[in-house]
Chains A and B, each alone.
Chain A
Amino acid sequence: MTYIGIIITFVFINNFILNQFLGLCPFIGVSKNIESAVGMGFAVTFVMAIASLTTWVVYTWILVPLNITFLQTITFILVIAALVQFVEMVIQNISPALYKALGIYLPLITTNCAVLGIAFISVQKRYNALESFVAGFAAGLGFLLAILLMSAIRTKLDFEWIPKPFRGIPIAFVTGGLMALAFMAFDKALLTNLIG
């Protein structure tokens, strides 16, 4: 698949939140205002792109040659945990401003299923190094898009009357469901129409 194809697939067709249900916790938890949603979205995109590439390297250059691919799950989660910690330290040193913006979201990302999910999916689909990186980046962008739309809708919802049992989390899920319906317009046909 071409790189454009991978990007369209992960941003629109197989959107991680609205289609694959990966990363729902931050999607519901951190989408109350636009500012934190954007912060979380960029932090996730950043970590996903790097994590996807790093786990590819670990898988292809360490696990496969040693014939220990059954340790995939343990290795990937440890690599991601270490990576998130490392990214946090690097950002803190080179750009305090960026750290201030993303810092509080980074620790939450270790247990975000989206990051581990892209690592498994890249291996499963036998992507090469660059494809893994692009897939991670695109899946992160899809996450950013969904959480940004969601936070914009929720800001508006604050001014609406909502039946009491639906306030808070339930209405967020219903909103997400309607967004997922809208995203069904993006299917495989879109890909074939665009790039043949």
Chain B
Amino acid sequence: MLKEFTKGIFKENPIFVIVLGLCPVLAVSTKVINAIGMSAGVIFVLLGSNIFVSMLKNYIPDKVRIPAYIVIIASFVTIVQMVMEAYAPSLYKSLGVYVPLIVVNCIILGRAEAFAKKNTIKASILDALGMGIGFTLALLLISLIREVLGAGTITIFPIGSFSGVIKIPVLVDEPIRVFGLSAGALLVIGFLKAFFNWYSEFKGARS
């Protein structure tokens, strides 16, 4: 059972291994806080859709399953949109069009089709959590690299007197701006993917 949970984090990491759901990853990874907000949204939708698809798997006719899944997913995305707009309006604004676009994030439909429709609710919950955490870790890694190198800061939640922005000496004065731009996002993910390819081969050769 634990395998369903851990596989999404490393072995089948949705971003680095399966390479799915990249549009939001690249677009919102300019700031760490955007990455956290987006990950929270994706985990919620993934969890909700996996539970519902798994629960309704015996009632949804096979022929209309894809539209049915899309309606389930879109409903959860609408909830995320409303909650985010009400409680975190500035985050909602900076994520912009990428919040409703969670609907077409291939990870979510992919998990419904590949996992939730033929597994129990409990397994589907673990699968969603594992995949969600794998997605979050990947997104955090990319956004950390991009924000630290591209702006010289790390932006997280403001707590009390702490403004939520950590400044990195030297880099904050002379950041490598290209990492904050769209080109930087594509380059970072290309090099990270190459690193993971190299690493898995290195590990495979050793064992």
Contact = CB atoms under 8 A, between A and B. Distances in A.
Interface of A: 18-25, 28, 70-74, 76-78, 81, 111-113, 116-117, 120-121, 124, 163-166, 169-174, 176-178, 180-181, 184
B101 A173 contact: no
A78 B24 CA distance: 21
B182 A170 contact: no
B73 to A, nearest CB: 8
A153 B23 CA distance: 22
Interface string B34-76: 0000000000000000000000000000000011001100110
B103 A181 contact: no
Given A171-B190, A177-B183, A120 B71 contact: no
A186 to B, nearest CB: 12
A76 to B, nearest CB: 8
Given A165-B198, A170-B191, A177 B184 contact: yes
Given A22-B23, A174-B191, 17 more contacts: A21-B26, A25-B22, A28-B19, A73-B74, A73-B78, A81-B66, A112-B104, A117-B97, A120-B97, A120-B100, A164-B197, A165-B198, A166-B190, A170-B193, A173-B186, A174-B186, A176-B186
Interface in B98-113: 100-101, 103-106, 109
Given A21-B22, A73-B74, A170-B194, A111 B101 contact: no
Contacts of A116: 100-101, 103-104
B165 interface: no
B157 interface: no
B181 A184 contact: yes
B78 A180 contact: no
10 closest cross-chain pairs (CB), A and B: A173-B190, A177-B186, A177-B187, A180-B183, A165-B198, A170-B194, A174-B190, A74-B74, A165-B197, A181-B183
Contacts of B190: 166, 169-174, 176-177
B189 interface: yes
Give the interface centre of B75, B77, B191 by most chain A CB atoms within 10 Å: B191
A81 B193 contact: no
A116 B101 CA distance: 7
A185 B27 CA distance: 20
B97 A121 contact: yes
Given A77-B104, A116-B103, A117-B101, A169 B70 contact: no
A92 B165 CA distance: 56
Contacts of A111: 104, 106, 109
Given A165-B194, A170-B197, A73 B100 contact: yes
Q: Is the interface of A mostly helix, strand, loop or mixed?
A: helix
B26 to A, nearest CB: 4
A70 B78 contact: yes
A25 B197 CA distance: 19
A74 B75 contact: yes
A24 B71 contact: no
Interface string B164-207: 00000000000000100111111101110111011001000000
A170 B197 CA distance: 9
B42 to A, nearest CB: 14
Contact of A77 (B22, B82, B103, B185): B103
A78 B78 contact: no
Nearest to B70: A77
Given A24-B23, A166-B194, A181-B178, A174 B187 contact: yes
B109 A21 contact: no
A5 to B, nearest CB: 20
24 contacts: A21-B182, A22-B101, A24-B22, A25-B20, A73-B74, A74-B71, A76-B100, A78-B70, A111-B109, A112-B104, A164-B198, A165-B197, A165-B201, A169-B19, A170-B191, A171-B194, A173-B186, A173-B193, A176-B186, A177-B183, A177-B186, A177-B187, A178-B187, A184-B181
